[in-house]
Amino acid sequence: MKISEQLFYLILFLVVAMSVITFWVFYLDRRRARHRQSRIPDLVLILLALCGGSIGAILAMAILKVKTRNPQFLVGLPLIFLVEATIFFLALPW
């Protein structure tokens, strides 16, 4: 396997792992909101999306109905996804 293929699979693994972690943290935030407990700061959620978890964040917004009225999530998460997708496709082993 070439180095470029190894890099591709490493990036793919990291994106999937971060998306699962991000979805889980959004779930915890939603659960805390329902139980009227302290919420997870928006900055933490945005940083998780920036670290490769934008797919998980977008899925959490759609499935869990969390942060659906917050403009920084409605606009920011799709933008973060576009940047991550561009980086991912540039790393493809052509």
SS3 for 14-41, per residue?
HHHHHHHHHHHHHHHHHHHHHCCCCCCC
Contact between 87 and 51 (Cβ < 8 Å)? no
Using CA of residue 23, residue 45, residue 40, residue 36, what is the dihedral sign? negative
In Å, how far are 41, 77, 91 from 46, measured between CA atoms? 9, 8, 23
Tens-digit pLDDT string for the chain (94 aa): 787 788 778 888 999 999 999 999 999 999 999 999 999 999 999 999 999 999 999 999 999 999 999 999 999 999 999 998 998 888 776 6
Contact between 74 and 68 (Cβ < 8 Å)? yes
For 13, the token pair is 């693994």
For 50, the token pair is 């920036």
Question: What pTM was estimated for this model as a whole?
Answer: 0.90
